[in-house]
Amino acid sequence: MAKRNTYNEDESLTTHFNWHDYARLGHYLRPYRWRLLLVLFTIVIGNIAVVLGPFLMKVAIDTAIPNRDMALIWTLSGIFLASLCIAFTCFRYRIWAITEIGQNLLIDMRTDLFTHLQELPFAYFDSRPHGKILIRVVNYINTLSDLLANGLVNLISDIISVIVTLIFMFTISWRLTLDSLVLIPILILWAYVIQKKQRRAFRQLSNKQSNLNAYIHESIAGIKVTQGFAQEQSTIQHFDQVADDNRDAYMQAVKIQYALSPGVQNISTMTTALIYFIGIQQLGVVVSTGTLIAFIGYINNFWNPVINIGNFYNDLITATAYLERIFETMDERPQIQDAPDAFALPPIKGDVRFNNVSFRYDDEGPLTLSDVSFHAQAGETIALVGPTGAGKTTIINLLSRFYNVTAGTITIDNINLQQVTLDSLRQQMGVMQQDTFLFSGTIMDNIRYGRLDATDDEVQQAAKIAHADDFIRSLPSGYQSMIQEHGDSLSAGQRQLLAFARVLLADPRILILDEATAAIDTKTEALLQAGLNELLKGRTSFIVAHRLSTIQHADQILVVNHGQIVEAGRHEQLMAQHGEYYQLYESQYQMLQAQD
């Protein structure tokens, strides 16, 4: 199997982040471009309304009040009141529109990521804790949603505000405007110094957040084992360590993040003091009282959005760590995908051939299967037996193309599986995995998952063949009984019976049963075997079983060991050879005798 990253192991990025990748985010803004243009128009109008205030104040102080022009004062007051109403209306619309766009962006991006996860192979999920995948779909997307919508549009609003303010400032006094910009280079240098440290700190924080989420997910999934072995205290100690690491990383990241804001605030205060100093020296000569008061107002209008832009830059650096993880997942290429010239597999008879098939999970790892060849004619039942880890489940996973072969070919009706589409292949196969999984919902819905257009009668008929109907009807709500997550409210045997009914409902041409009767008691197994005998007629079936008594009537029994087929034949033939199959059978028989 692929090397698995664990909850206490930091993930390393396979590629360096490229700032040009931020252009990819435009894909999510494009569907809302007209709404955004309307928002931007509203922002321009609102900003103009806001910056009118100091200009009106200048006119009032320099012209209307000295001349006692009450008509002009009333006119200026009316314009000022109207500008406040316009600014309030524009601001309210902007908040509402941006919130809606932000939520739509959240859905779009999360849907793309979730859809991509459906296409990734088993190897991707085998190689990392599911909690580390979950945090990317939920937490990281939430962080980016606010950045893409509210943060981005606010950035544009602040830039427009700065431009409009500068226009008014240059109109009033170009000398004071240039004086107020003299400290900008210091701000740029300050931001440049801390941005690299901030990005590294938040990348480390994303690692620790991912580790914490993975440990919580793993601990909840294994709570029965924890309590069964009375290891609650040990689990809490591990949690405390992971949580402490997350806290330390957070504090370090925040310490660097908030280093920018005080710098901007100090530069803003120094600029205001500088303008007061210069303006008072020139008061009455170059600068009028109204001009100085208006300019101080514009200084605030200028630096407030600059501070916001600095905060957005902070958020941008912070979000980069999360964006890297999301793009890393989106850029993960599915190893199992349709070839460019793939075609739909026509209705099959079920003739299966493995031709010198070899397989390894890792490119540099050992071979799990080595030169495996066999032929299953249409309608035959093939049993795969052997010790744990011999390669039995790997064979059926390759047949379903959950993995691609390393060497050799697999054909169905003489058609290479690599040449057909995955959907057309798997729609004609029914697979019951070794680990039974049931979804939250009703029993009826879980069985119908095998064929979504099946009627209630067809669902119930499949359950009867699987001998699940009796226990289902004994439940208070029958087929409408709700199943808890993973089906924990049912016994292991009941879960397998439901999963078996789900496969039966799909009515596949090729049936794959991986340890289908492992958790079923002897009485239930005898009932199920009768249904199986009817089910297996007319279709090609592959059965992986440790209970050799269940596969004695198979057309072929393949004994797998060390990734190779070491024996093949019917039950009687293999027993006569006194080889590995004979030893497996005899050891099981003696074990059952001892239990009796």
Stretch 147-156: mean pLDDT? 68
Q: Give the pLDDT confidence of 336-380 residue by residue, as tens digits.
A: 788 888 899 999 999 999 999 999 887 777 889 999 999 999 989
DSSP letter, residue 555: S
Amino acid of residue 116: H
Q: Are 408 and 350 in contact (CB under 8 A)?
A: no
Residue from 125, 176, 148 nearest 26 by CA: 148
Poorest-confidence range of 101-115, 305-319, 378-392?
305-319
Q: How far apart are CA 559 and CA 392, in angstroms?
A: 9
pLDDT above 90 as % of the chain: 12
Q: Are 396 and 431 in contact (CB under 8 A)?
A: yes
Q: How confident is the model at residue 531 (pLDDT cuts 50, 70, 90)?
A: low
- Number of other CB atoms surrounding residue 23 within 10 Å: 9
Q: Give the pLDDT confidence of 168-178 residue by residue, as tens digits.
A: 778 777 777 77
443 pLDDT higher than 50: yes
Q: What are phi and psi of 432, to 5 degrees?
A: -115, 105
Give residue 226's pLDDT: 75
| Tokens coding 469 | 């109907």
Stretch 73-91: mean pLDDT? 87
Give residue 407's pLDDT: 93
Domains in the chain: boundaries: 19-330, 339-428+509-523+539-596, 434-507
Q: What element of type H or E holds 510?
A: strand 510-514
Specify the CATH number of the domain 19-330: 1.20.1560.10
Stretch 204-226: mean pLDDT? 75
Q: Give the pLDDT confidence of 545-567 residue by residue, as tens digits.
A: 777 777 888 899 999 998 999 99
Residue from 405, 482, 465 nearest 430 by CA: 465
Query: 193-228 in b/e burial notation, b at 16+ Cβ within 10 A?
Result: ebbebbbebbbbbbbbbbbbbbbbbbbeeeeeebee
Stretch 40-52: mean pLDDT? 81
519 pLDDT higher than 70: no
Q: How confident is the model at residue 522 (pLDDT cuts 50, 70, 90)?
A: low
Give residue 377's pLDDT: 92
Specify the CATH number of the domain 339-428+509-523+539-596: 3.40.50.300
395 pLDDT higher than 70: yes
Instruction: List the strands of the sheet with 556-561, edge to edge.
Output: 429-432, 510-514, 540-544, 381-385, 556-561, 564-569
Q: Are 451 and 506 in contact (CB under 8 A)?
A: yes
456-465 helix and 492-506 helix, angle to the nearest 10 degrees: 120
Give residue 69's pLDDT: 82
Question: Do 339-428+509-523+539-596 and 434-507 share a fold?
Answer: yes
C-alpha pair distances (Å), 581 with each of 550, 559, 573: 14, 7, 10
SS3 370: strand
The answer regarding whether domain 434-507 maps to CATH 3.40.50.300 reads yes
295 pLDDT higher than 90: no
Q: What is the mean pLDDT of the chain?
A: 79
